[in-house]
Amino acid sequence: MQQDQLLELIEQKDEKSFDYLYDMYAQSLFGVINAVVKNKAQAEDVLQEVMVKIWENLDSYKKEKGRFYTWIVNIARNAAIDKYRSKAYKKQRQNLSTDNFVSILEGSYNLGRLTNAIGIEAFVKKLKPKCIKIIDLLFYKGFTQKEAAEDLSIPLGTLKTRNRACINDLRTLLNVK
Amino acid sequence: MSTQEYIDSGILELYVYGSLSKDEAREVQEMIAKHPEIKKEVEAIEEAVIRLSSSAAPYLPAVNYQRIKEELFTNSAKVKTLRKTSWATYTGWAAALLLLIASAVFYNQYQSNEEVLKVVTTEKEELQKDKKQLENVQEEYAITLNILRDKNTSVVPLEGQKNYSNAYAQAYYNKESKEVIIDAQGLPEPPKGMVYQVWSLQFDPLTPTSVGLLEEFKTNDSKLFRVAEAPSAEAFGITLEPAGGSETPTMDKLYTLGKV
């Protein structure tokens, strides 16, 4: 299902349309939240907060301002970042600041339990390290172009085309045309 | 600019992420409305990032879905409006009076039921909390066990130093994944307001890097602590520091030390 069909459905605001919404996006938002807070139990709490917020503010989403997914992933990111900051962050985390979404794949324990991720480790590892970094900053952490370019010390134009090339790699690996 | 050049510029990816300014996003919206191939491209990009983030996530237990649904869909019965007709007004008043009397009676019953319900709900919440905690502990154990079993993990004995010759600890260090687990069974309980801090050391020049605190020492029955990864440890040391840890190790409170 694409977003246009979903949006028609969720105008009903009933339980069934919520199920569609959850099926389509909850796991993805959970991935984004978990990459920021890095604690599964807390990520579950944030996800709940986020899904409730999305549902209760559906009316404030305006189709002409952008993709629905962009709107909800932004809500998820902001909630996760708030949580991350409020944790009065402990020293033991300091050394982990360079962590990214891939690090959660490294414990084979997680991998065994991944639902729809057969072979995901193999494919994520095929992504170039610079791609992982760039996707992590722009998509997962929600950096602006300028912030990301500064962080990586590359010009804005390079950032855009490099990111495009990385997403193309990802699409080839996932066979999304 | 042709649509292909527009697509190749990489602006659509940023549009999906949400990292464009309002003006830039509006421009993309206009392009999408005009060119179906741009819309298709946006949908493909979105699908790719959704699949990436869905896959690179820990297992999401179904109980979360239940929790959220409960929060959203219980206690939200819809109120229907009555049609206004004159007979409805009179019978309405009569019904209201009856209802008032009846509700006084029911209210008392309701209150005592409510009390019972509250107690049961609290109990249920407590149990759920316990269960969750156990799940977390179990998960933590499983991760720890995996690290300990790994063939790249070596044991580093940390011997007691000077005034603390009775102290003893062990570090399990995985040279591949850089993960570190500290077994602190042989350390005395830290005094109030103090905490053990673990350092990874590099020689030449001697550089200590904090890899974490052994927090909640007393309540951790196994005394196994997973600390941060140590990219290039040549030795590990444990010092006693004020709560919250220190920037640099307090050398006269160095309890144990051992070379990798």
User: What pLDDT, in 10s, does the model give residues B141-156?
Assistant: 888 888 888 888 999 9
**A36 to chain B nearest CA, in Å?**
11
Q: How confident is the model at residue A96 (pLDDT cuts 50, 70, 90)?
A: very low
Residues in B closer than 8 angstroms to A169, CB to CB, are none
pLDDT for residue B9? 93
CB within 8 Å of B56: residues ≥ 6 apart: A31, A35, A101, A102, A104, A105, A117, A120, A124
Q: State how far the Cα of B45 lies from the Cα of B10, in Å rounded to an integer.
A: 11
Q: Which two tokens stand for residue B39?
A: 């819309």
For the cut 80, the answer to whether the pLDDT of residue B249 exceeds it is yes
How much is the average pLDDT of B87-94?
A: 76
pLDDT-based confidence at residue B99 (cuts at 50, 70, 90):
confident
What ipTM does this complex have?
A: 0.86
- Which residues of A fall within a CB distance of 8 Å from B229? 95-96
CA distance B104 to B110: 10
| Residue B206 DSSP symbol | T
- Count of residues making up chain B: 260
Mean pLDDT of B187-204: 91
CA distance to partner chain B, nearest, from residue A164 (Å): 5
pLDDT band at B50, cuts 50/70/90? very high
- B124 to chain A, any CB pair closer than 8 A? The answer is no
Q: Does A101 touch chain B (CB under 8 A)?
A: yes
The pLDDT assigned to A95 comes to 38
Residue numbers in B near A52 (CB within 8 A): 68, 71-72
Judging contacts by C-beta atoms under 8 Å, the chain A residues touching residue B228 are: 92-96
Token pair listed for B158: 């940390």
Beta carbons of A64 and B29 less than 8 angstroms apart:
yes
Rounded Cα gap, residues A167 and B171, in angstroms: 40
Q: CA-nearest residue of chain B to A144? A: B19
Q: How would residue A113 be classed by pLDDT, with cut points 50, 70 and 90?
A: very low
Q: What is the pLDDT of residues A150-173, one digit of tens each?
A: 999 999 989 999 999 999 988 888
As a whole number, mean pLDDT of residues A24-49 equals 91
Question: Is the predicted pLDDT of residue A103 greater than 70, yes or no?
Answer: no
